[in-house]
Structure 1
């Protein structure tokens, strides 16, 4: 039974949870599981914010049967700065790989606009052969054996997803940035055919998201 199933089953059997300490006392969660739930915002219904909940969840996970109730240090988190919208988005992506309310790249849109980058959604309306900049989080890196060394990237922003082709030479010249960066700013020529637009890259730069996001599903 998964942690989620245990939480639901216990709640159905004994009623709603009254707080983080109550939930952990009934389920004896591991510290990593309790902190992951707090990071994902699962405990905000109890009145705290995510940063305070992560603090309290770690403390609650150290309690075990036989400990005197009400004497566990750390359950009442100190005053901590709340998370920014960007930090909440990053926390969602880390904990669940999904952000229901926002995308991390949207917080860099002003920077991307200043660099002359278009959105991935706008790529479909660009004329074949036009050179553009596009920025986004890397969701996939693939290098099929039949592609002659070409690497296929998927860039995702708050509007859509773009397909990018990277030649072996360009990949080799930028391999550290291209492989290690969570997000990229790519210049390339639009290849449009049958209503599908692909960006053939000729320049690659790292796009700083300031904190880790969901890991890309890379080739091996």
Structure 2
């Protein structure tokens, strides 16, 4: 939504709690897209409406605002709608806020990862240095420091933790397309330990298909 809109909501809330959705839009000037973002992220559940109900109402309520006559919107009340599954809720959380507080995308593909011999981050860091493992997770960062001699560092995260991945220039060039574009990866490589930290020296990268979209913070 952007900081100005978020600050406007907080400022209006300081004058007293919002009683319902209509009260919110009467006190804060919100577009349909902004209302939909609040609904998708679950921010409107405190007003007594589930995410799908709030999304239904968003288009109608956007017709009202601080400068309109009250009650001009119609079709606000939603019919009975099915609740969201755990996967759908995680999708909505990640889309709206970039995080999923109640679950993590890799949880939903863990059985398949187990069958493929892919371990969790927590399991990887317990193994001895030098061991070759495969770890799958969401790519949270891609970084190539100017002093690293062409080495690229990735951070991958699963439901158990975060792991640093080291990609040599040759490895990066070989898997460049996958490395740059895949939101989640299965990384096969050799575990290293330095200064108490565990890193995975990558030897192979493969895209990991998740049921939840994700975003990483990448170098430019």
TM-score scaled by structure 2?
Answer: 0.89
Q: 1:72 to 1:219 in 2, by over 3 A?
A: same
**1:155 — aligned with what?**
156
How many pairs align?
217
Shift of 1:89: 2.0
Q: Specify every segment of 5 or more residues in structure 1 that has no aligned partner in the other structure, as ranges.
A: none
Q: 1:129 to 1:61 in 2, by over 3 A?
A: same
Q: Which runs of structure 2 are paired with 1:86-165 in the superposition (5 Å)?
A: 86-165=87-166
Q: Are 1:124 and 1:195, in contact at CA under 8 Å, matched by a contact in 2?
A: no
Counterparts of 1:203 and 1:59, CA distance in 2: 50
**2:44 — aligned with what?**
43
Counterparts of 1:55 and 1:111, CA distance in 2: 35
Structure 1 range deviating more: 135-144 or 94-103:
94-103
Counterparts of 1:162 and 1:66, CA distance in 2: 52
**1:6 — aligned with what?**
8
Counterparts of 2:59 and 2:33, CA distance in 1: 8
Q: Are 2:187 and 2:204, in contact at CA under 8 Å, matched by a contact in 1?
A: yes
TM-score scaled by structure 1?
Answer: 0.89
2:92 aligns to what SS in structure 1? helix
**1:52 — aligned with what?**
53
Structure 1 range deviating more: 179-188 or 141-150:
141-150
**1:200 — aligned with what?**
201
1:33 aligns to what SS in structure 2? helix
Counterparts of 2:108 and 2:56, CA distance in 1: 26
Shift of 1:67: 4.3
The C-alpha deviation readout for 1:18-55, integer Å capped at 9, x for no partner, is 22122111212122221111111111133332122122
**1:191 — aligned with what?**
192
1:145 aligns to what SS in structure 2? coil
Q: 1:68 to 1:117 in 2, by over 3 A?
A: same
1:34 aligns to what SS in structure 2? helix
**1:73 — aligned with what?**
74
Structure 1 range deviating more: 43-52 or 175-184:
43-52
What is the alpha-carbon root mean square deviation over aligned residues?
Answer: 2.0
The C-alpha deviation readout for 1:123-152, integer Å capped at 9, x for no partner, is 221112111110011110011122222211
Counterparts of 1:146 and 1:36, CA distance in 2: 40
Q: 1:68 to 1:24 in 2, by over 3 A?
A: closer
Structure 1 range deviating more: 189-198 or 114-123:
189-198
Q: Specify every segment of 5 or more residues in structure 2 that has no aligned partner in the other structure, as ranges.
A: none
